[in-house]
């Protein structure tokens, strides 16, 4: 189902993200029946939000996502103010530099949309509840950004709009004009660090969307504010306000490298079909009941929020293979991700280790029955099957947008356990597996993985010839 665009906004620096819960009770795909699996109940997926609207801001390769995105105030930047890109030291090992980020203020406007109150699902939000919500968003996003972002409550108010129907876009338009004495009228939030969050008391069409980037933003949600249902959606949309795009999943249709050039990794590609939202180990993927997994490493690195990572280039490997131990991304110490630059193609690859701990312990990825999605020509991409005992080592790529932001996508580089069919894959690497970039510019071997000791990888760079 296609959702209508939000009116009156046309610059290319933020996105409108539409989500709907509908009647979804299980994750998309063919879910295998396995009574022995550590599985969520069906209600755990009641808040799964499949993509809904086509994008109006296209990626750099000219394709549109299957759900969102609308630009914000002209002249605002998608990159957070005060953030810098990575630095490279004399040995070729890059270290992410994060400076600033600042205090973000949320202004919560509770809307009784229609003339009646009989269709209300959610109660109003008290000052105490609003303070609690701000604290929850602060706790989550401060952790994701290594303390660079803090969230405080700017205010809370309530009004009756008296509309004849409940259209999320119309509600947001109306609220922006009047909320908090017109503070957000004409999209004046750009560059202020102020965020308008509109919570409807009605379920309406069960949608949520938010603007992407611009140091401030607007959000509307039809899911309330409860920790189980409301918070996952609001954390996702607030991520958009901070400049994050969606977390997606890719399977390249070859059985040799499982990889392809950057230009082939798009939402409309037949070489590397990519599914929007389909990464359950990232809050910017599907919103799932009670789940607040960590944000994946590529966007954290590119937006300057992750400091504990290393960049490996051919200079790094001038003296031979480079072996590196990755700590869990949701941890607080050690090297938590690697960015590898292919010396032949110049493409970037990101490697991370995810375990069933910290924020990632809330993810459906470690506690559900495997789901497999038929792609094309007999290919299948699976997820929700990572080992809660050993965790998962993943290789990710990015999907660049014209305005400088990037979306994240996992590469399906591992064959399914118990299968020799190279067309059936998931994002998890197997111990001993060697991944080779499509250009042949480097190889990546997973030596070992252990939540206690980390994941050991070895990267070997090839000559430019």
- The model's confidence at residue 367, banded by pLDDT at 50, 70 and 90, is confident
Cα–Cα dist 306/96, whole Å: 6
pLDDT band at 464 (very low <50, low <70, confident <90, very high): confident
Q: Above 60 in pLDDT, residue 42?
A: no
For residue 44, the model assigns a pLDDT of 36
C-alpha span between 138 and 298 (Å, rounded): 21
Helices and strands counted in the chain (H then E): 4, 24
Q: How far apart are CA 14 and CA 244, in angstroms?
A: 10
Helix 127-144 and helix 230-241, axial crossing angle in degrees, nearest 10: 60
Say if residues 388 and 360 touch (Cβ distance below 8 Å): no
What pLDDT does residue 73 have? Answer: 62
- Tell me how far apart the alpha carbons of residues 143 and 358 are, in angstroms, rounded to a whole number: 11
**pLDDT at 66 > cutoff 70:** no
Q: pLDDT-derived band of residue 92, with 50, 70 and 90 as boundaries? A: very low
**Range name among 1-5, 67-71, 86-90, 273-277 with the lowest pLDDT average:** 1-5
Residue 462 has pLDDT above 60, yes or no: yes
Domain ranges of the chain: 101-241, 247-461
DSSP of 166-194: --HHHHHHHHHHHHHHHTTGGGTTTTTTE
- pLDDT value of residue 404: 81
- Average pLDDT for 100-112: 89
């Amino acid at each position: 189902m296609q959702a209508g665009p939000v009116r009156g906004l046309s610059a290319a620096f933020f996105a409108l993200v539409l989500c709907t819960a509908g009647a979804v009770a299980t994750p998309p795909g063919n879910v295998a029946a396995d009574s022995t699996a550590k599985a969520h109940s069906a209600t755990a997926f009641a808040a799964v939000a499949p993509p809904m609207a086509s994008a109006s801001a296209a990626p750099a390769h000219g394709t549109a996502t299957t759900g969102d995105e609308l630009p914000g105030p002209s002249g605002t930047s998608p990159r957070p103010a005060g953030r810098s890109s990575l630095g490279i030291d004399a040995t070729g090992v890059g270290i992410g530099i994060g400076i600033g980020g600042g205090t973000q203020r949320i202004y919560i406007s509770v809307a009784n949309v229609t003339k009646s109150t009989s269709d209300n699902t959610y109660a109003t939000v008290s000052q105490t509840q609003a303070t609690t919500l701000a604290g929850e968003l602060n706790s989550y996003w401060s952790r994701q950004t290594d303390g660079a972002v803090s969230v405080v409550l700017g205010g809370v108010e309530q009004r009756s709009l008296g509309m004849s129907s409940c259209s999320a876009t119309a509600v947001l338009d109306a609220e922006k004009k009047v909320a908090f004495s017109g503070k957000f009228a004409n999209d004046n939030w750009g560059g202020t660090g102020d965020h308008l969050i509109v919570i409807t008391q009605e379920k309406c069409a069960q949608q949520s969307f938010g603007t992407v980037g611009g140091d401030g933003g607007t959000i509307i949600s039809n899911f309330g504010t409860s920790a189980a249902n409301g918070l996952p959606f609001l954390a996702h949309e607030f991520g958009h306000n901070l400049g994050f795009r969606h977390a997606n999943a890719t399977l390249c249709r070859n059985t040799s490298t499982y990889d392809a050039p950057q230009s082939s990794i798009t939402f409309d590609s037949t070489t590397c079909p990519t599914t929007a939202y389909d990464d359950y180990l990232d809050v910017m993927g599907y919103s799932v009941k009670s789940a607040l997994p960590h944000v994946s490493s590529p966007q954290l690195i590119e937006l300057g929020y992750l400091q504990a990572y290393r960049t490996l280039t051919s200079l790094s490997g001038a003296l031979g293979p480079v072996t590196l131990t990755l700590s869990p991304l949701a941890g607080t110490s050690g090297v938590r991700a690697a960015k590898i630059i292919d010396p032949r193609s110049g493409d970037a690859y990101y490697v991370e280790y995810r375990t069933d701990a910290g924020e990632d312990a809330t993810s459906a990825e470690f506690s559900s029955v495997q789901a497999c999605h038929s792609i094309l020509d007999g290919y299948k991409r699976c997820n929700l099957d990572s080992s809660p005992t050993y965790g998962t080592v993943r290789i990710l790529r990015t999907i660049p947008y014209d305005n400088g932001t990037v979306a994240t996508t996992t590469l399906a580089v591992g064959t399914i356990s118990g299968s020799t069919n190279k067309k059936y894959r998931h994002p998890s690497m197997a111990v001993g597996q060697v991944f080779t970039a499509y250009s042949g510019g480097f190889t990546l071997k997973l030596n070992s993985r252990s939540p206690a000791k980390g994941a050991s990888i070895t990267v070997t760079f090839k000559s430019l010839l």
